[in-house]
């Protein structure tokens, strides 16, 4: 990967880097377009939630990734983004990184980073996705995030000083580029094993909460499309959406 493969725009403030790239995707000039913001005034999280971040304390950015013309619907893409982020952080020396389906990055059950993948409407163009990443670098002390049972930051997972945000960004973009190339040629099955090695809830009892339902079972990993597999009383079920947490009473949730 070369620096010239990317166009990186770093702004002081915007509403949401995902919002900006999805609303007005830059023209396809063969580069991967990246938008970084020091501050988001309306950061978006998964499932319609807000994403809170603190200037100087977080790295918030989005990557516009275009697939080859005729590429199939990108199954498992959001898991690949989580895996790339996990590997980049490990490469920087972070200890104990785990993945929670579909793509939260955790350390000891606490959330270190979140990812929001939004597919762009095709409108006759090759498929494209905006991958938005919010990574806690060094949170102010005493922070609590509504709806989040625990949050952590990169500085706490390193035994050495926190690298500059530009170094962290470069490490993540390098991994994203490398894994997306593998994904584009071989699909999620080529990366499934690496994802499962880091899965926080393998063989653990979990609850999956949907809009207005809850499903209980034992986590049995993910399938070749990136769907979560759950062993339930009714048999093995594929889960395509929802929030996973350890079943109440079975341990600390994330
Ligand atoms: C989640 O865990 O709910 C996903 C959070 C994703 C947050 C990032 S921050 C950069 C990008 N822009 C957004 O508005 N959201 C994503």
Q: pLDDT-derived band of residue 251, with 50, 70 and 90 as boundaries?
A: very low
Please give the pLDDT value at position 54.
85
The class level of CATH for 205-246 reads mainly beta
Give the mean model confidence (pLDDT) for residues 160-187.
95
To the nearest 10°, report the CA torsion of 140, 154, 109, 114.
90
Name the DSSP class of 162: P
115 pocket-lining for ligand 1 (C-beta < 6 Å): yes
What phi and psi, each to the nearest 5 degrees, are found at residue 169? -60, -45
Q: What are the angstrom distances between the C-alpha of 170 and each of 55, 91, 226?
A: 19, 12, 26
- CA separation for the pair 225, 227 (Å, rounded): 6
Pairing of strands 228-232, 214-222: antiparallel
Please give the pLDDT value at position 208.
94
Residue 252: is its pLDDT beyond 60?
A: no
Q: How far is the CA of 19 from the centre of ligand 1 (A)?
A: 10
176 pocket-lining for ligand 1 (C-beta < 6 Å): no
pTM: 0.93
**Ligand 1 atom with minimal separation from the 37 CA:** 10
What does the domain layout of the chain look like in residue ranges?
A: 3-197, 205-246
- CA separation for the pair 24, 5 (Å, rounded): 20
- List the one residue out of 79, 10, 102, 16 whose CA is nearest residue 52: 16
Tokens of 213: 């339902």
- CATH topology assigned to domain 3-197: BirA Bifunctional Protein; domain 2 (3.30.930)
Q: What are the angstrom distances between the C-alpha of 42 and each of 39, 45, 61?
A: 9, 10, 13
Q: How far is the CA of 233 from the centre of ligand 1 (A)?
A: 35
Tokens of 193: 């094993």
- CA separation for the pair 109, 97 (Å, rounded): 10
Ligand 1 pocket test target in 61, 113, 114 with most atoms within 8 Å of CB: 114
Q: Which residue numbers are catalytic?
A: 46, 111, 247
**Ligand 1 atom with minimal separation from the 114 CA:** 2
**Segment 212-225, tens digit of pLDDT:** 889 999 999 999 99
- List the one residue out of 241, 251, 196 whose CA is nearest residue 219: 196
Please give the pLDDT value at position 235.
96
49 pocket-lining for ligand 1 (C-beta < 6 Å): yes
**Segment 24-83, tens digit of pLDDT:** 999 999 999 999 999 999 999 998 999 998 888 999 999 999 988 777 777 899 999 999
């Amino acid at each position: 990967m070369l620096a010239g493969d990317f166009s990186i725009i770093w702004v002081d403030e915007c509403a949401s880097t995902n919002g900006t790239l999805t609303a007005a995707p830059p023209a396809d000039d063969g580069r991967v377009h990246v938008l970084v913001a020091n501050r988001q005034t309306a950061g978006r999280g998964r499932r319609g939630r807000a994403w809170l971040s603190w200037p100087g304390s977080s790295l918030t950015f989005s990557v516009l990734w275009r697939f080859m013309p005729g590429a199939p619907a990108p199954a498992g893409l959001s898991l690949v983004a989580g895996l790339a982020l996990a590997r980049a952080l490990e490469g920087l020396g972070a200890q104990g990184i785990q993945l929670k389906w579909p793509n939260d990055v955790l350390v000891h059950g606490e959330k270190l980073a979140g990812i929001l993948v939004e597919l762009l409407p095709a409108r006759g163009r090759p498929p494209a996705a905006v991958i938005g990443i919010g990574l806690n670098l060094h949170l102010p002390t005493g922070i609590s995030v509504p709806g989040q049972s625990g949050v952590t930051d990169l500085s706490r997972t390193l035994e050495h000083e926190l690298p500059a945000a530009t170094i962290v960004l470069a490490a993540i973009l390098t991994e994203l580029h490398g894994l997306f190339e593998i994904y584009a040629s071989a699909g999620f099955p080529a990366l499934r094993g690496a994802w499962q090695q880091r899965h926080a809830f393998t063989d653990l009892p979990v609850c999956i909460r949907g809009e207005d339902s809850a499903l209980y079972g034992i986590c049995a990993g993910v399938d070749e499309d990136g769907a979560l597999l759950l062993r339930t009383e009714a048999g093995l079920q594929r889960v395509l959406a929802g929030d996973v947490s350890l079943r109440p009473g079975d341990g600390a949730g994330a």
